[in-house]
Chain A
Amino acid sequence: MRARLLDRGFIYGSAVVLAIWALVPFYLIATSALTPQTNISDYPKPLFPTSISVATMQLFLESSGIIPATLNSLIVALITVLIGLALGAPAAYALARFRFRGREAYRATLLVTRMFPIAILAIPLAAICVRLGLYDSLISVSLVHAAMALPFVILILAGVFGALSHEIEEAAETFGCSRWGAFIRVALPPAAPGLAAAAIFAFVISWNEVFAASILTVRTRTLPAQVLASLATSPLTLKLLAGFFMVLPAVVFILLIRRYVRLAWGPR
């Protein structure tokens, strides 16, 4: 009995300590970002802030380049999502529904592409763009992001399609639906939440990516590229606000699709 209790205490004790480790940086950045300007250089800082305000955050949003960079990030991420879904959904469907020669080889290729070094894509692509006269092309950033996101989109969607029964699709075909019609009317609707999850995952990959974005753009920068470029010159407060501003949507999105995230990194 006593050993059991000790065991329990150990399990919950470590679980809580690890939860604090996982969450503390979020708490610290949020408190930093919401500290009123007058208290920013207080030292030692109280762990629990005495007053909070969104005024500092407002100042950050008004500071030069943040809003346009955010818009650029959104444009790039949306194009990434579109390319990812348009190319990824058919491929995922093929992986989930067909047994064919080279299926495992294709899957293995996806797993390898998932970890392809971004430098080797971004630098030569930038060199190609410069020769074509495209110095600042958001499209080229989207293309690199889509190449990064595509394996994840396919793996998530293959899991989603694989979990859906293919019998109703066959039934629809038996009742005279074309294969394409069966896919659109029967297979797709129940997969909608999975498609949304894959879209969100692709969005977050693009929203977070900094190396390719920094290499491929000079003036029309995405948000991470803008933040990285101004690291050397911006004051600490601005850096912390930028961190908070970049992390917030990504965390919300990942929590929204929590059921699907394991498909991106898990087996299958």
Chain B
Amino acid sequence: MHTRTGRLVPFTLLLPSMAFLAVLIVIPMAQAVLLSLATEGGAFTLENFQRMLADASFSDAWRNTLLLLLLIVPLQVALALAIALLVNSRFRGHRLFFLIYTVPLAVSDLAAGLLWLAAFSERGYLNSALQQTGVINQPVLWLSFDNFAGLLSAIVIAESWRTTAMVLLILVAGLELIPRDFLETAEIFGAGRLRRTVHVVLPLLRPSLQSALLIRTIFALQTFAVVFALAGRNIPVLAGEAYSWYATNQDERVAAAYAVFILALTVVAIVVYVRLLPGPREAEVQR
């Protein structure tokens, strides 16, 4: 480490990025709060939040966002954990397989919806396969507006498929931090693979698991384009309502109220993870 150079050097190097992030995050955030709490004339009001709450789509959007979060996050963390343990067993060719599993990382939420449209559309590949194997006689309308379960499943599948790769990267990196000696010692003392996993690997992986859960929970609160691609407006979600209020209804104040609501949920998620789960604070600092 350089000690002879001035103490200010690192701060000079950090300053541009800090200033940029501060300006681009703090100003819009303050502006969002101001917008959501003010009338056109600038007077204080709760009307924007009242209009948001009174809107017919609000309760649906709120319920759907929560439902998607509760379905997607545990599913994908479990899946990613299974894949991470598989990769970490370092079988021959595990590097190639790991690369394959991380490819969906490149896909945006919008594109993920469009990719799975090829499977779930009326004349899509899922119906084709089911019909050719004789399971169905005519196409099932998975994405019809009145097929809530079908729409929801398609979204859960598409979004889990896309974001499992991100969780996998976090977990595999966490697994690599676990010293091999620990596992070897456990093996010497007669612990089988299952016991090694449960008693050695999982406790040591907890920081990674917790930050993966937190990151994914926060992103799940913003689920948007994958829903629009597969379900249009038939499955309202919070971020989608914010977009529609801004772009379609041209009401930036109610849109800002939605944005503030999403931010508040994000803060709640962080507080819950940091306060209720032991240890995540260190986990955050460690990474």
Contacts and interface: CB of A to CB of B under 8 A. Distances in A.
Interface of A: 8, 11-12, 14-15, 18-19, 21-26, 28-29, 31-32, 41-47, 83, 86-88, 90-91, 93-95, 97-100, 103-104, 106-109, 111-128, 130, 143-144, 146-147, 150, 154, 166, 170, 179, 204, 207-211, 214-215, 224, 227-228, 231-232, 236, 239-240, 242-243, 246-247, 250-251, 253-255, 258, 261-262, 264-268
B115 A43 contact: no
Interface stretch (B52-60, B69-77, B144-152, B213-221): B213-221
Contact of B174 (A46, A124, A125, A267): A267
A209 B32 CA distance: 20
Contact of B118 (A28, A93, A120, A267): A28
A231 B29 CA distance: 30
A209 B263 CA distance: 19
Secondary structure at the B interface, as helix, strand, loop or mixed, is helix
Contacts of B211: 111
Query: Dominant SS at the A interface?
Result: helix
A130 to B, nearest CB: 8
B21 A267 contact: no
A267 B97 CA distance: 21
Contacts of B49: none
Contacts of A23: 100, 103
B194 interface: no
Interface in B15-48: 16-18, 20-21, 24-25, 27-29, 31-32, 35
A255 B52 CA distance: 43
B123 A25 contact: no
B114 A243 contact: yes
Interface residues of B, number: 101
Interface of B: 1-2, 5, 7, 9-11, 13-14, 16-18, 20-21, 24-25, 27-29, 31-32, 35, 83, 86, 89, 91, 93-94, 97, 99-119, 121, 123-125, 127-129, 131-132, 139, 161, 165-166, 169-170, 172-174, 177, 208, 211, 214-215, 218-219, 221-222, 224-225, 228-229, 232, 239, 242-243, 246-247, 252, 255-256, 258-260, 262-263, 266, 270, 284-287
B208 A267 contact: yes
Given A143-B24, A246-B111, A265 B169 contact: yes
Nearest to A24: B119
Contacts of A243: 111, 113-115, 117-118, 229
Nearest to B99: A258
A153 B76 CA distance: 26
Contacts of A94: 9-11, 13-14
A147 B24 contact: yes
A11 B1 contact: no
Given A109-B21, A114-B215, 19 more contacts: A14-B86, A15-B91, A19-B97, A19-B101, A22-B161, A29-B118, A94-B10, A98-B1, A100-B11, A111-B284, A117-B218, A120-B260, A120-B263, A124-B29, A124-B259, A210-B109, A243-B118, A250-B111, A265-B169
B10 A254 contact: no
Given A124-B256, A210-B225, A268 B106 contact: no
A129 to B, nearest CB: 11
9 contacts: A14-B86, A113-B21, A121-B29, A123-B255, A124-B256, A210-B224, A258-B99, A261-B102, A266-B169
B123 A124 contact: no
A19 B99 CA distance: 10
Contacts of B255: 123
A130 B246 CA distance: 12
A254 B103 contact: yes
B48 to A, nearest CB: 12
A93 B2 CA distance: 12
Contacts of A170: 2
B118 A32 contact: yes
A124 B17 contact: no
Contacts of A32: 118
Contact of B259 (A12, A112, A119, A179): A119
Q: Which of B105, B110, B129, B260: most chain A Cβ within 10 A?
A: B110
A31 B124 CA distance: 11
A208 B252 contact: no
B115 A262 contact: no
A246 B108 contact: yes
Contacts of A126: 246, 252
Contacts of A215: 243, 246-247
B256 A247 contact: no
Contact of B284 (A83, A108, A150): A108
Contacts of B243: 119, 211, 214-215
